[in-house]
Amino acid sequence: MKRILITVLTLVVALLMGSATMFAHHGNSAYNEVSPITITGVVTEFVWSNPHCQIYLDVTDDKGNVVHWGIESQSPGILVRAGWTRKSLQEGDHITITLAAAKNGAPVGFSGGATGKVVFADGRILTMTQKSQ
């Protein structure tokens, strides 16, 4: 009986140790969160899905070239509490967005937390943080 208990206990501990990484959440180490940037462009797609909503934007660079940006934002739950809906961004909307750009120079970034916000051409602002109650 003692041998079975030790075997079961060993298996449980091994299972817990092996599954610990599945409880981890990814980080934003690929993004330069120290120096947020602001870009202006036209929304080409807004994907409202877990775990993070995605904003796709066409931005014209200094040379006149159109650069296709992919921006990860908060989860739908956080955005709802910040006043967003799945229809907050529409294809063709002209927006300015503050984000943490990729450290490797790729046209991708993360917009969320205190610095994440979207400003529409008409001046409306949507932040990415929960509104206080």
Instruction: Return the structure tokens found at 118.
Output: 């979207």
Q: Hey, how many other C-beta atoms are within 10 angstroms of the C-beta on 125?
A: 10
Percent residues over pLDDT 70 in the chain: 80
What are the structural domains of the chain?
A: 37-127 (2.40.50.140)
Residue 31: predicted pLDDT: 86
pLDDT band, residue 114 (cuts 50/70/90): confident
The position carrying tokens 């990729």 is: 102
CB 91 within 8 A of CB 44: yes
What's the whole-model pTM score? Answer: 0.77
CB 67 within 8 A of CB 107: yes
Whole-angstrom distance, CA of residue 107 vs CA of residue 71? 8
Residue 34 has pLDDT above 60, yes or no: yes
Residue 21 has pLDDT above 80, yes or no: no
Summarised one tens digit per residue, pLDDT across range 35-91 is 999 999 999 999 999 999 999 999 999 999 999 999 999 999 999 999 999 999 999
CA distances from 124 to 47, 48, 49 (A): 20, 20, 23
pLDDT band, residue 123 (cuts 50/70/90): very high
Residue 74: predicted pLDDT: 92
Residue of 17 and 43 predicted with greater confidence: 43
pLDDT band, residue 8 (cuts 50/70/90): low
